Amino acid sequence: MSKHTAKGALGAKQWYLVAYNTAQLAGWGSAAYLTLHALVRHEGGDAVCKMAGRIVGLCQLAALMETVHTVAGLTRGSVLLSFLQWFGRSNVLFLILRSIPELWSHWAVPVLFLAWALADMARYPWYAWAQFQSPPHWLTWLRYSAFIPLYPLGILGGEMPLIWSGLPYISQRKLHSLEMPNSVNFAFSYHTFAQVGLFVLIPLAFLQLYTYMLQQRSKRLADVSVKGIR
């Protein structure tokens, strides 16, 4: 018998989650390959955006389903934390990077794509495997260790530099902003929102998520060690 705990026959929910996580793994794997391919050919961030940007965007849009999964009870976790993580990435990818072509050649683009891709390539196989049986120790270790360097790299080396570099363009073009007077009698400055996000929201959200993941790592790896002893 396998040393890992086998589960019974999979139902529709489990097969759906296997399919979703496998598709995300394939998508992020493709994004990592295309990013590295562009870098090896010394084509820079602009080529990275053109080659990998579409698949990164599709994977990121699909990731909203993870919040839906939590709301629907398909998976466990914090709905708020899941949504905030999705929104943080989407804000940088769609509202800033996609809206400001001048940023496509920024050095932070390949850093961002690779950090996201590698982190998720460690995450999705674990979720897919867990639908069949308890994941092996090496996969659990990878799932709960890869984030240690990759999360800070994605935030400090990818998201924050792109937001900072995008601020002048956001201000000049009044991107995603609503000025008075207007029919809804409401004003919104995306430039101010981006500044608050850069200096307040992102650091706080990162600290909360990183602390949570470190706690989960200690718990999961301790559980694996206990099962291994047994």
Q: Residue 182's CB: how many other CB atoms inside 10 A?
A: 10
| Amino acid type, 34 | L
Catalogue the active-site residues.
151, 159
At residue 25, φ and ψ (nearest 5 deg) are: -60, -45
Dihedral sign for Cα atoms in the order 6, 117, 220, 225: positive
Nearest C-alpha neighbor of 103 from the set 175, 164, 181, 52: 164
**Residue 56 is inside which H or E element, if any?**
helix 44-62
What is the amino acid identity at position 74? L
141-165: b (≥16 Cβ within 10 Å) or e = bbbbebbeebbebbbbbbbbbbbeb
